[in-house]
Amino acid sequence: GQQVMQIPQYQHVQEGEDFTTYCNSSTTLSNIQWYKQRPGGHPVFLIQLVKSGEVKKQKRLTFQFGEAKKNSSLHITATQTTDVGTYFCAGAWIGTYKYIFGTGTRLKVLA
């Protein structure tokens, strides 16, 4: 079936270090969304990428969608303790409108 894998599963960084999570789909995606879930919280929408090769920035966060629309990445520059949480990508396949969540990357930031 359709799968969306993320690596790494866990990442511990010192505050101020950069962080990147990668999202890979088994098949070509129509678009991809990114969510953040704080411990004990619910997923909160961050961004949506639609076009092949698209790059979007939100302050310290940079999102990329691969040229083949099968992979994506989220890069955080100079992490802060407020960045702690699990980051999920969620992909939608062409011709469908259901989003399948990736396996998630749990980020811990050490002060």
Partner 1 sequence: DTEVTQTPKHLVMGMTNKKSLKCEQHMGHRAMYWYKQKAKKPPELMFVYSYEKLSINESVPSRFSPECPNSSLLNLHLHALQPEDSALYLCASSQVTGENTEAFFGQGTRLTVV
Q: Under the rule (CB under 8 A), what is the footprint of partner 1? A: 30-31, 33, 41-45, 48, 50, 88, 92, 97-104, 106
Which amino acid belongs to residue 6?
A: Q
Provide CB contacts within 8 A for 9, sequence distance 6+: 103, 104, 105, 106
Closest CB to partner 1 among residues 12, 80: 12
Q: How far apart are CA 64 and CA 56, in angstroms?
A: 7
Output the smallest distance, CB 36 to partner 1, in A: 11
Closest CB to partner 1 among residues 8, 41: 41
